[in-house]
Structure 1
Amino acid sequence: MAVFDFVLRYSFAGIDFLRDEGLSKRTQAKMKDAFTPEHASEILGFVDALPESIKTIVVHCEGGYSRSCAIAQALGDACGYAVAGEELANANPSVWRGLLNSAMGKRYGEKSGSR
């Protein structure tokens, strides 16, 4: 098993709360566990605090096709990291937009978490 010097662990529901269709009752019940501006702020703070010697960031989630893709894509878009875009086609739009909005707010001095 690989050992990493810098690890940030998160758990949040993979809810796309920005989609056009209404959310099911089951999904609505999980909203309390959805991605938040606080998650975005902590992820960005973690990445910003990494030493310059760190050249690769590993992002993964339980399923590996929605939440982690969204975070990787948003870090690529906001911070200029190289990502395999074709591998990220199923990125959760709500997570992507939340993290990207926080990154842009941080960059331009706006309040984090606007949607």
Structure 2
Amino acid sequence: MDISLASWFVILLALAAANLPFFSERLFALIPLRSTGTPPVKSLWWRLLELIVMYFVVGLFGRLIEGRTGDVFTQNWEFYAIGAVAFIVLAYPGFAYRYLRKQHG
């Protein structure tokens, strides 16, 4: 896989994974929540937990792809802090859709 293509793949994967918690009422878009007669609604805490897990999943995929294309470079805490902030920025469209848009009806 070309390095440029691999980079774009990881960026698009991060974009999709960062927004997934906000567009689905299921945990990780797979596990349905229990409901007591009303439609299930995930709380913000579940969405944040999913966001953290997705950050590590995307990081694992990025590390695996980096290993396949060449040497894996060691990273310090600054790399992971900037990556976490970038992941949160990528999650903004989903957050805005879920919590900031005007509810009709």
Same fold at TM > 0.5: no
Considering only CA atoms, is the larger Rg found in Structure 1 or Structure 2? 2
Relative to its length, the structure with more helix (as a share) is 2
Please give the TM-score of this superposition, normalised by the length of structure 1.
0.31
Which structure has the higher relative contact order (CA within 8 Å, separation 6+)? 2
Please give the TM-score of this superposition, normalised by the length of structure 2.
0.33
